[in-house]
Amino acid sequence: MHSDTRDRDTVRQDTSVAARTGTVVETVPVSTPDDVDHAVACAAGAAGRVAATDPRVRRDWLLALAEGLETAGTRTALVRMADTETGLGEPRLRTELARCADQLRFYGEVAAEGSFLGATVDHADGARPDLRRLRVPLGPVAVLGASNFPFGFGVLGHDTASALAAGCTVVAKAHPAHPVTSRLLGHVAREALTGAGAPAGAFGLVSGFDAGTALVRAPQVRAVAFTGSQQGGLALWRAANERDEVVPVYAEMGTVNPVVVTRAGALRRVEVADGFVGSFTLGTGQYCTKPGLLLAPAGAGFPDAVVRSLERAAPAGWLLTEGIARGFDVGTRELEEAGATVLARVPGHADGWSAAATLLQARAVDLRPGSRLLEECFGPVALVVEYDGHGELERVLRSLPGALAASVMSNGDDDPEVPGLVAALGTRVGRVAVDAWPTGVATTWAQQHGGPWPATTVPSATSVGAAALDRFTRPVTWQSVPDAALPPALREDNPWRLPRRVDGKQVPA
């Protein structure tokens, strides 16, 4: 999930480029300032109506979007164009598109379930007035999706789906790594939403770097959602903090997601090495949850084992853009300059934005706060580091910056090191997995994707899972307000049949 800022110099005009060949597919017109103003004005104009809609109606809109994506002809066209633009391969993209449709349905169900509204009623009690609290939609949300998941984190990905579910209108920016795919998704959205009866301003699409900047500055935009690089996310966060009326920027950004192998887990050396290679080279290493650092007990033969796994697998793929390919070259050199040495490098393809999957080794003592070794390098590259005993491992874990996810590779449920490692990693990340790689992110009620700063600008937020909706609401309390002037969700007869907290007690729908 990566931003366009690294591509800015390369792809000035949303030129669609085939990742496998580096040849131009199509030049896509970029939005003019007037186009952006118009899209924002439409989103602002429809915001009240979308916010006032029963969430079950918005579920139907999201179901229509999912169906639109799954229409046979559309699906084929989307997967084919996304594969051309990204080089990620049709099988992966078919799965991703199906998951994108599932996400849309999931957020629709979360909206319909209604808990996200946090409806709370405290009846008057003696001198205490009647108080009723509800989370209300913020209004137009700007969505700046990711390069690496053209569907899952694209213009109809998690952010758009959860913002619509929460009752916000959306203006999404097409990603320059897949502008034609983005445009096709925009067509699907307009057709499906219109067909389902949503207002025209519920969803809009703009394109071009300047359009993204303009969205973040537009006074009517009430929140920004971004998935991508640290550099891109923090730039948006700073820009939003300069607004007259500051708005939240929910940026979830790529990190070095550490994997710790326990001493007993080292017995599973080959399996762990194979899994690590599979995970860090998945999607040509272009996952924000890529495990970028394997911490293995010294003397257990991990560097050699991972080298053998990498050479055996010999993964070859393409990076998404020329800018990302250049960033990968620079980044791997920087890792070497910071003290890492190359253990293995397997050749990629001959054409396009191909990348040579690279394994480096570094010393535990060099993993100090602020080191380049602890910053993400996007693409198929990872570090293996041997730790010498518990004390050294503890020191390294304390040095780790905040990350999205971490894994522990153990020798099963009785491994005595697991509880301590899970607890230690839990303070540094948003998700801890045991005997599972961090690259798989299911969309469920219990999922958390954001992690501590600098993984996420708002570490209490998540772009994946039911809580994704919470980002796009703010609570309002109504005090002594007559029933007829209350929003339906708070009226005494509960016409939306929501689960609510009444006088301190949870009351099911």
Residues 103-162 that bind a second copy (CB under 8 A): 113, 115, 118, 120-122, 128-129, 131-133, 135-136
* b/e map 28-52, b = 16+ CB within 10 Å: bebbeeebbeebbebbbebbeebbe
Nearer to a second copy, 212 or 248 (CB): 248
Supply 136's token pair. 């209300």
99 is an interface residue for a second copy by CB under 8 A: no
Q: Does 491 bind a second copy (CB under 8 A)?
A: no
- The phi, psi pair for 198, rounded to 5°, reads -75, 150
318-377 binders of a second copy (CB under 8 A): none
- The DSSP annotation for 103-167 comes to HHHHHHHHHHH-GGG--EEE--BTTBPPEEEEEEE-S-EEEE--SS-TTTTSTTSHHHHHHHHHT
φ, ψ at 98 (rounded to 5°): -65, -40
288 is catalytic: yes
Candidates 85, 96, 252, 386; catalytic one: 252
CB-nearer residue toward a second copy: 73 or 128: 128
Q: Determine which residue in the list 224, 273, 296, 467 makes contact with a second copy, applying CB under 8 A.
A: 467
d(CA 60, CA 64) in angstroms, rounded, equals: 6
504 near a second copy, judged by CB under 8 A: yes
Quote the distance between the C-alpha of residue 450 and its chain's center. Answer: 8
Contact call for residue 77 and a second copy (CB under 8 A): no
State the catalytic residue, choosing from 288, 375, 376, 417.
288
CB of 425 to a second copy, least distance (A): 9
Does 484 help bind a second copy (rule: CB under 8 A)?
Answer: yes
What gap in Å lies between CA 56 and CA 161, rounded to an integer? 14
Question: What's 83-102 look like in SS3?
Answer: HHHHCCCHHHHHHHHHHHHH
List beta partners, residue 259: 294, 407
252 is catalytic: yes
Under the criterion CB under 8 A, does residue 433 sit at the interface with a second copy? yes
> Within 368-427, which residues bind a second copy (CB under 8 A)?
401-402, 413, 418-419, 422-423, 426
**Which residue lies nearer to a second copy by CB, 25 or 136?**
136
In whole angstroms, the minimum distance from the beta carbon of 129 to a second copy comes to 6
Can residue 440 be called a binding residue for a second copy (CB under 8 A)?
A: yes
Q: What is the DSSP string of 200-222?
A: GGGEEEE-SHHHHHHHHH-TT--
Binding of a second copy by 434 (CB under 8 A): yes
Shortest distance, position 339 Cβ to a second copy, whole Å: 21
Half-sphere exposure of 241 (CA within 13 A, CB side): 8
Shortest distance (Å) from residue 176 CB to a second copy: 28
Binding window for a second copy (CB under 8 A); candidates: 197-205, 353-361, 384-392, 465-473: 465-473
Q: What x/- string results for residues 210 through 249 when contact with a second copy is judged by CB under 8 A?
A: -------------------------------x---xxxx-
Least Å from the CB of residue 4 to a second copy: 23
Angle at 464 between CA 76 and CA 235, to 5 degrees: 95
Q: Where are the alpha helices (DSSP H) in 196-345?
A: 209-217, 230-241, 269-280, 302-313, 322-337
Q: Which is nearer to a second copy, 106 or 318 (CB)?
A: 106
| CB of residue 302 to a second copy, shortest distance in Å | 22
Binding to a second copy in span 258-287, by CB under 8 A: none
- What's the closest the beta carbon of residue 180 comes to a second copy, in angstroms? 31
Interaction residues for a second copy, span 445-464 (CB under 8 A): 445-448, 452-454, 457-460, 462
# binding residues, a second copy (CB under 8 A): 72
Q: Are strands 341-346 and 357-363 parallel, antiparallel or unpaired?
A: antiparallel
Burial class (CB in 10 A: 0-12, 13-18, 19+), 337: exposed
Rule CB under 8 A: is residue 493 a binding residue for a second copy?
Answer: no
Contact between residue 31 and residue 209 where contact means Cβ atoms under 8 Å apart: no
Catalytic residues: 252, 288
